[in-house]
Amino acid sequence: MSGQSPRSLSAAEPCLGCGEETAVGSVFFSDRRTVEQSDGTRAYLCTLCDARIRSSRKGTRLTDEEIRNVVENGSMGAISWAGRGG
């Protein structure tokens, strides 16, 4: 054992939105959403980030391209607070 906690290691399959681990064995694996990158590689959204994005669109799912644009533009923070009033 190296003595490092799982959080101190880099995520093998991080969520595009928050960076949480979504790989097999993680708490987010069963409900993660797979997003295809523009170069054909796969990326993932955890359950919570996928729900935040859906709530910002009144429950409709975004396309992979729309998700890539949201993440690339740094809009995940704004999305997490969308629809909470005020």
pTM: 0.64
CA distance 26 to 24: 6
State the DSSP code for 7: G
Look at residue 4 and tell me if it is in a domain.
no
Determine the pLDDT at residue 77: 56
* Encoded tokens for 50: 């996928």
Determine the pLDDT at residue 52: 82
* Encoded tokens for 5: 């906690």
- Quick: pLDDT tens for 26-43: 988 999 999 888 888 888
Look at residue 59 and tell me if it is in a domain.
yes
Domain interval for residue 15: 9-67
Determine the pLDDT at residue 21: 92
* Domain total of the chain: 1
Which of the residues in the chain have pLDDT under 70? 1-11, 59, 74-86
Look at residue 86 and tell me if it is in a domain.
no
Determine the pLDDT at residue 1: 39
Determine the pLDDT at residue 75: 63
Tell me the Ramachandran region of residue 66: left when phi exceeds 0, alpha when psi lies from -120 to 50, beta otherwise: alpha
Look at residue 34 and tell me if it is in a domain.
yes
CA distance 61 to 52: 10
